[in-house]
A and B are shown apart, each in its own frame.
Chain A
Amino acid sequence: MTQNFTQDSQPIAKNFFKKKITLQNQYFDTKAQLNLRIANSKVMAANFDGELDVLKLLEPQLTNRSWTENLQFLDNQLRGPYRKHISMNHILLLEKLAKITAHVPKRAIYLRTMRLEFERIEQHLLFLSEIALKLSFPLLQLRLLDFKEKTARLKWQLFPPSNKPFNVIGGVGFNLSQQMISFAKEQLIRLQKKSLFISRLFNRNWVIKNRLKDVGFLTRADAKKYGLVGPLARSTGITDDIRVSDPYLAYPEIDFSLPVSDFCDLYGEVLVRIDEIQESFKILRELLRNLPAGAIKLIEVPEELSIGTISNRLETPSGELFSFIVNKNKEILSAPNVYQFTSPLKINQQGILLRLSGEVLENINLLVATISEGWSD
């Protein structure tokens, strides 16, 4: 698979040279290549060789297992980007097939949303630490990874890692005690205060600010034209988020704002992600404050699934994840016939190439870091 992009306004000079960057995925054992055509120390054209969408590799594995086996696999064994979101996507699809979406207890929905927001914070911190590495700023990278560890520790205290899947049909497998809720409230306030160092650093350090500004400039018109999603689109001022436009789980009941930036560059994307970390903390605190009492799962679960095609949309940390399934068997122990993903990276691929074109050599490694989803050079 190859995608090409050339900038028409700049004629390609005679003495151009080619540059190949091999990308390695840390979750799946695959490689891809980023080919650059450089003239006058600027990128004139860029294209990817190989499949960037690693979720495509997951599809055959999912159609070989039954619905319940997939539940266990996605929750505990999968190594991949935003895996909590992928497993949540699976359970939402399954509940749509079983036609029990409306009957899932509210407490379970709130707990599920909490788990997703924890992952959003972690993924954004990982993204920022990658940027810090490319800026050759080891201390910032260390602090970001350390903060990620602290957030993960709180998450593990609330939802301890075990062999049992977190998501079960019609609810969740874990409950929170009242003591744990008050503990988590205190910890979240503490963590949110601590997280302010990130925005302080990225806003005040003039070296970082100037290194990220105007890097990977992308106009709003182009972002709309290529249908970009996630923080990449929001950095150009597009207010698009599935949590708001097509709400699921507990999001319609929560009051939260959508961070958007008008910088239209990498600095804008970084600011959007930093603000989203703050918003996620706010969401988590609100979820804990309004956590409804009651059961965490349905007592009677239907054993038959409906036949047909179903799709689902979910806002992952890097954008919209679209999934589509075809089910031809009524039994829950049967495997899905078709299981397809469209990952946000697949949608944003053109946007990343667009960002690279016209960019000077020094900024390329910064932009390569934004590919995320486990890809690194």
Chain B
Amino acid sequence: MFNIWFNLFVFPGMVFFIVLAAIFEHVNGRLMARFSFQAKEQAMFIPLVSNFKFLVAKEQEKHSFSFRIIVQITLLIVLLALPIFGAFFLPINILGELPAKSGGYGKYLKISEGVIGIFSFEGDVLLVFGVILLFGFVTLLLQLLSPQKLRKNAFKSYIQFAIWDIPLFLALSGFLIARKSLSLSLLAHDIRLIVDTNKLFGFLILLPMSTFIAIFSLSSKFDQPYFDRLGTQKDLLINPPLPFNWQLFLWNTAMRLQETLLAGLIVTLCLGGPHLPIPEPTNDYFALIAYSGNFVVKTMLVDVLITLLRAIRPRMRFDQTLNYVLKISTPFSLVSLMLIGLYVSIWPLA
């Protein structure tokens, strides 16, 4: 096994996660640019790499450091740190020994089984959900700090962003009910076993319903304009001259990382985590690379799927979003939850 600090920070750790998000976003940005049939990239889909241009660009206005700007910097750094922290629970940070120390699953779960992040323990799913909710809350605080925005509009765009969490959480809760567990590693492992033993239930009820709702919610969640569209439309264009805008750089980076984290969560729970399609080698070193490779490929596929979903439908307005989430998406996810609950209560899983 590699050195724990190397694992934690370089591969397959923090740096790898950020680079991964950058690559996904670059592919997605190009794909989106191809779809929209124009040279300039769309404001909402700036690839992460292109964001660095905001830092390289010449400064046009000198900002004086006020209390508000200091709070803004702090919040933006928190925003950036949250998805990176959340990523430690994903299988990209495999470290098979830690759960044995923390929870005692080591005898049941070897590195070739189960999905284990660096911080794996009973209840880590709730912590990931907490990270997602906290991320939304920090975006709200940042919206309130924005001088261009009225308080009412800030709340409005926060609701538009965070309301998609309801169907997303409900869709992923189906797995919690099926297994009655709150550990990501156990869940991912057991879902794989359920689908293996009971293919009819797995492929018809458990996986497709939750996967579809979760991916659709995710594609809509990050399709919303957070900053005031009218003011920043000009700034967001990639074409020069580009103003120096570090806030936008931090904001976009955090958003892309969060999107990658959620895509990774969906892959971990719904799509078999790091187990397929590359077969499992016996050597530990190769296993690490194979698992990471599997996970990367799947997350990338989910990301591309989300981009395609964005391309084949128009963006909804605020009232339409509320209508859709509360009248269609949430009831549908509740029905899937009920179906899974019914199935498990009638035919208990082994």
B233 lies within 8 A of chain A by Cβ:
yes
A362→B314 contact, CB < 8 A? no
Closest to B316 in A: A207
Against B, the Cβ 8 Å flags (1 = close, 0 = not) of A334-377 are 00000000000000000000000000011111000000000001
**Complex: how many Å from CA A141 to CA B153?**
29
Q: Tell me which of B30-38, B163-171, B251-259 binds A.
A: B30-38
Against B, the Cβ 8 Å flags (1 = close, 0 = not) of A146-173 are 0000000000000000000000000000
> Looking at chain A's contact residues, is the secondary structure mostly helix, strand, loop, or mixed?
helix
**Complex: how many Å from CA A167 to CA B43?**
43
Query: Smallest Cβ distance from A344 to chain B, in angstroms?
Result: 26
B152→A41 contact, CB < 8 A? yes
B235 lies within 8 A of chain A by Cβ:
no
Closest to A143 in B: B37
B312 lies within 8 A of chain A by Cβ:
yes
Contact of A207 among B35, B37, B233, B313 (CB under 8 A): B313
Given that A364-B230, A365-B230 are known contacts, is A145 also in contact with B317, CB under 8 Å in the complex?
no
Closest to B153 in A: A41
Give residues 304-350 of B contacting A (CB, 8 Å). 310-318, 320
Query: Smallest Cβ distance from B247 to chain A, in angstroms?
Result: 20
B230→A22 contact, CB < 8 A? no
B37→A211 contact, CB < 8 A? no
Closest to A362 in B: B317
Contact of A139 among B153, B311, B320 (CB under 8 A): B311
A133 lies within 8 A of chain B by Cβ:
yes
A145→B314 contact, CB < 8 A? no
**Complex: how many Å from CA A363 to CA B223?**
17
Contact of A211 among B152, B310, B317 (CB under 8 A): B317
**Complex: how many Å from CA A140 to CA B36?**
9
A22→B234 contact, CB < 8 A? yes
A58 lies within 8 A of chain B by Cβ:
no
Query: Smallest Cβ distance from B281 to chain A, in angstroms?
Result: 41
Q: List 30 A-B contacts (CB under 8 A).
A: A17-B150, A19-B230, A19-B231, A40-B152, A41-B153, A132-B314, A133-B36, A136-B44, A136-B223, A136-B310, A137-B311, A137-B313, A137-B314, A137-B315, A138-B32, A138-B36, A138-B42, A138-B311, A141-B36, A142-B36, A145-B37, A207-B316, A207-B320, A210-B320, A211-B314, A361-B229, A362-B318, A365-B229, A365-B230, A365-B233
Given that A136-B44, A136-B223, A211-B320 are known contacts, is A361 also in contact with B315, CB under 8 Å in the complex?
no
B314→A142 contact, CB < 8 A? no
- Which residues in A have their C-beta under 8 angstroms from that of B230? 19, 21, 361, 364-365
| Chain B residues near A (Cβ < 8 Å) | 32, 35-37, 42, 44, 150, 152-153, 156, 223, 229-231, 233-234, 310-318, 320
**Complex: how many Å from CA A139 to CA B313?**
8
A288 lies within 8 A of chain B by Cβ:
no
> Looking at chain B's contact residues, is the secondary structure mostly helix, strand, loop, or mixed?
helix
B153→A361 contact, CB < 8 A? yes
A135 lies within 8 A of chain B by Cβ:
yes
A10 lies within 8 A of chain B by Cβ:
no
Closest 3 CB pairs of A and B: A136-B315, A138-B35, A137-B314
Query: Smallest Cβ distance from A109 to chain B, in angstroms?
Result: 37
**Complex: how many Å from CA A211 to CA B310?**
16
Q: How many residues of A contact B (CB 8 A)?
A: 29
**Complex: how many Å from CA A41 to CA B234?**
20
Given that A22-B234, A211-B320 are known contacts, is A135 also in contact with B36, CB under 8 Å in the complex?
no
- Which residues in B have their C-beta under 8 angstroms from that of A191? none
Given that A21-B230, A136-B44, A364-B230 are known contacts, is A142 also in contact with B317, CB under 8 Å in the complex?
no
B318→A207 contact, CB < 8 A? no
- Which residues in A have their C-beta under 8 angstroms from that of B35? 138-139, 142
A135→B315 contact, CB < 8 A? yes
Against B, the Cβ 8 Å flags (1 = close, 0 = not) of A114-143 are 000000000000000000110111111110
Task: Kindly list 15 other residue pairs between chains A and B, CB separation below 8 angstroms, not including A138-B35, A210-B320.
Answer: A15-B150, A19-B230, A40-B152, A41-B150, A133-B36, A136-B44, A137-B313, A139-B35, A142-B37, A207-B313, A208-B314, A210-B317, A211-B317, A211-B320, A363-B317
A178 lies within 8 A of chain B by Cβ:
no
Closest to A41 in B: B153
Query: Smallest Cβ distance from A126 to chain B, in angstroms?
Result: 12
- Which residues in A have their C-beta under 8 angstroms from that of B310? 136, 138
Give residues 273-305 of A contacting B (CB, 8 Å). none
**Complex: how many Å from CA A208 to CA B315?**
9
A205 lies within 8 A of chain B by Cβ:
yes
Query: Smallest Cβ distance from A140 to chain B, in angstroms?
Result: 7
A138→B317 contact, CB < 8 A? no
Closest to A38 in B: B150
Query: Smallest Cβ distance from B282 to chain A, in angstroms?
Result: 46
